[in-house]
Amino acid sequence: QKEVEQNSGPLSVPEGAIASLNCTYSDRGSQSFFWYRQYSGKSPELIMSIYSNGDKEDGRFTAQLNKASQYVSLLIRDSQPSDSATYLCAVTPSGGSTLGRLYFGRGTQLTVWP
């Protein structure tokens, strides 16, 4: 079983602050990493994907990947109350096909207060 670990939170930050969400994974050969946002009662929505070591920026979101440390993070700059949601980290296993499954962490609940 491939493990994907996230701090369950809740993580609470004030509006305008940087929210930092962390994820570690057990499969050293994993190649693809994803962050999903899930609002309460809704389905997950893909917000970031990252495949290479380093940083990837998209608007207020930055994903950071360190394969040597088996660590992926998501930074949300200028956090807004609308960012309040559960954030799921997902990882593809090594050796699988490109149509294979993802492994998900349990999610980190983020609350941004005005």
Partner 1 sequence: DGGITQSPKYLFRKEGQNVTLSCEQNLNHDAMYWYRQDPGQGLRLIYYSQIVNDFQKGDIAEGYSVSREKKESFPLTVTSAQKNPTAFYLCASKTERNYGYTFGSGTRLTVV
Among 19, 21, 30, 34, binds partner 1 (CB under 8 A): 34
Residue 3 Cβ vs partner 1, minimum distance, rounded to whole Å: 11
Q: Is 36 among the residues that bind partner 1 (CB under 8 A)?
A: yes
- Give one word for 80, left, alpha or beta, with left for phi > 0 and alpha for psi -120 to 50: beta
Q: Is 105 among the residues that bind partner 1 (CB under 8 A)?
A: yes
Query: Binders of partner 1 among 44-103, rule CB under 8 A?
Result: 44-46, 49, 51, 88, 90, 92, 97-102
Alpha-carbon distance of 60 to 24, in angstroms, equals 22
Among 39, 42, 52, 113, binds partner 1 (CB under 8 A): 42
Alpha-carbon distance of 32 to 19, in angstroms, equals 22
Alpha-carbon distance of 74 to 101, in angstroms, equals 21
Q: Is 43 among the residues that bind partner 1 (CB under 8 A)?
A: yes
Residues 6+ apart with CB under 8 A from 65: 33, 50, 51, 52, 53, 54, 56, 71, 72
- Contacting residues toward partner 1, per CB under 8 A: 1, 8, 31-32, 34, 36, 42-46, 49, 51, 88, 90, 92, 97-102, 104-107
